[in-house]
């Protein structure tokens, strides 16, 4: 069965320091991986995705993620954290097969709360 794991419920980092939010996955076939950010009482905002190509993917707001096939990981990173980066981050993987209605579903991780301390 397909799954996504975010092993940390919360990550604390000092402003200006690099940050990493971890995500590992288990899928059959080639993974389609996504990172989203959610601010309080808001929907999810798309950050970046990996479909194919370079293992290092650059996204919005200075975030990037590294796809590592051997470790089945897709960790989110940023070289220098900002207080405004504090939010809830979700990793997601697209299920490999279409549904009966012809669409693809996402599987979401449980989320990691990032706290950037001033």
3-state SS, residue 101? coil
Q: Tell me: does residue 110 bind other proteins (CB under 8 A).
A: yes
Give 29's DSSP letter. S
Looking at beta carbons only, is 42 or 69 nearer to other proteins?
Answer: 42
Interface with other proteins (CB under 8 A), residue from 1, 53, 54, 103: 103
Q: Tell me: does residue 108 bind other proteins (CB under 8 A).
A: yes
Interface with other proteins (CB under 8 A), residue from 7, 17, 28, 51: 51
From residue 56 to residue 95, the character string flagging contacts with other proteins as x (rule: CB under 8 A) and all else as - is ----------------------------------x---x-
Interface with other proteins (CB under 8 A), residue from 5, 20, 44, 66: 44
Question: Whole-angstrom Cα distance, residue 47 to residue 61?
Answer: 8
**How many residues interact with other proteins (rule CB under 8 A)?**
25
Mind giving me the DSSP string for 36-83? Answer: EEE-TT--EEEEEEESSS-SEEE-GGG-EEEEETTTTEEEEEESS--G
Question: Whole-angstrom Cα distance, residue 117 to residue 84?
Answer: 10
Q: How many CB atoms lie within 10 A of CB 109?
A: 23
Which positions touch other proteins (CB under 8 A)? 32, 34, 36, 41-46, 49, 51, 90, 94, 99-106, 108-111
């Amino acid at each position: 069965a397909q799954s996504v794991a975010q092993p940390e419920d919360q990550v604390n980092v000092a402003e200006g320091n690099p940050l990493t939010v971890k995500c590992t996955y288990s899928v059959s076939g080639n993974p389609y991986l996504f990172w989203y950010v959610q601010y309080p009482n808001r929907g999810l905002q798309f950050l970046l995705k990996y479909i194919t190509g370079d293992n290092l993917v650059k996204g919005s707001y200075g975030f990037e993620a590294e796809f590592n096939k051997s470790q089945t990981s897709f960790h989110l990173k940023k070289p220098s954290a900002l207080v405004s980066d504090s939010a809830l981050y979700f990793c997601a993987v697209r299920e490999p097969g279409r549904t009966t209605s012809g669409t693809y579903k996402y599987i979401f991780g449980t989320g990691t709360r990032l706290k950037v301390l001033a």
